[in-house]
Amino acid sequence: MKDAVKLKKINKKLCIEMNIHFAQVDNRVHKGRLMVFPSYFLILAFFTICLRGQTIAQQSTAPFSIQTSEITKGWSSNSVNAVIFRKNSLATHKNTQYVAFYDPEERVILAKRKVGKSEWEIHTTQYKGHAADAHNSISIMVDGEGYLHMAWDHHNDTLRYAKSIKPGSLELTEKMSMTGENENSITYPEFHRLPDGDLLFFYRKGESGRGNLIINRYDTGRKTWKQIQNNLIDGEGERNAYWQACVDAKGTIHISWVWRETWDVATNHDLCYARSNDGGITWENSKAEPYKLPIKMGSVEVAFSIPQNSELINQTSMTTDEMGQPVIATYWRDQKTGKPQYHVVYLDNGQWKSQVVYERETRFSLSGGGTKKIPISRPQIVVKEIDQKTRAVMIFRDQERENKPSIALNQDFPSGEWKLIDLLESDLGSWEPTYDTELWKSKGILSLFIQKVEQVDSEGLSDAEPEIVKVFDWDVDSIE
Q: What's the burial of 10, exposed, middle or buried (CB within 10 Å: 0-12/13-18/19+)?
A: exposed
Nearest to 21 by CA among 420, 317, 433, 446: 420
Report d(CA 154, CA 80) in Å as an integer. 11
Does an H or E element contain 439, and which?
helix 437-443
User: CA 415 → CA 246, 389, 411, 418, 441, distances in Å?
Assistant: 24, 10, 9, 9, 24
Q: Which amino acid is at 321?
A: D
Task: Name the DSSP class of 233.
Answer: B
Interatomic CA distance for residues 231 and 450, integer angstroms = 34
CB 433 within 8 A of CB 33: no
CATH dotted code for 2-478: 2.120.10.10
Series of mean pLDDT values for 10-residue runs along the chain (480 residues): 39 36 33 36 34 35 70 97 97 98 98 96 98 96 98 97 98 98 96 98 89 95 97 92 97 97 94 98 98 96 97 97 97 90 97 97 86 90 93 97 96 96 93 98 95 88 95 84
For residue 108, the cross-strand partners are: 102
Q: Specify the amino acid at residue 344.
A: V
**pLDDT at res. 16:** 34
List, in order, residues 6 or more apart from 421 with CB less than 8 Å away. Answer: 21, 22, 23, 44, 59, 406, 407, 408, 409
Three-class DSSP category at 478 = helix
d(CA 369, CA 378) in angstroms, rounded, equals 16
Q: Which residues contact 98 (CB under 8 A, 6 or more apart)?
A: 90, 91, 92, 110, 111, 112, 140, 142, 148, 170
Contacts (Cβ under 8 Å, ≥6 apart) of 173: 162, 163, 164, 165
Please give the Cα distance from 170 to 192 (Å, whole number): 20
Q: How far apart are the C-alpha atoms of 227 and 223, rounded to whole Å?
A: 14
End-to-end CA distance of the chain: give it in Å, rounded. Answer: 37
Report the DSSP beta bridge partners of residue 333.
Answer: 340
Rounded to whole angstroms, the Cα distance separating 5 from 12 reads: 11
Confirm if 217 and 198 have CB atoms less than 8 A apart.
Answer: yes
Give backbone dihedrals phi and psi of 473, rounded to 5 degrees, phi first: -110, 130
Measured CA to CA, the distance from residue 194 to residue 471 in angstroms comes to 24
The structural domains of the chain, with segments of one domain joined by +, span: 2-478
DSSP 63: -
Report the 10 Å Cβ neighbour count for 58. 11
Residue 32, Ramachandran bin (φ over 0: left; ψ between -120 and 50: alpha; else beta): left
Q: Are 129 and 153 in contact (CB under 8 A)?
A: yes
pTM: predicted TM-score of the whole model, two decimal places: 0.86
Q: Which residues contact 172 (CB under 8 A, 6 or more apart)?
A: 110, 125, 126, 127, 148, 150, 162, 163, 164, 165
Report which of 331, 328, 426, 423 is spatially closest to residue 374, judged by C-alpha positions: 331
Query: What number of other Cβ atoms are within 10 A of residue 31's Cβ?
Result: 8
Give the 3-state secondary structure of residue 441.
helix
Order of all β-strands in the sheet with 240-247: 240-247, 253-260, 268-276, 301-304
Neighbouring CB atoms inside 10 A of 168's CB total 15
Looking at residue 387, its pLDDT comes to 87
CA angle 159, 162, 167 (to 5 degrees): 155
Four-residue CA torsion sign, 109, 112, 113, 116? positive
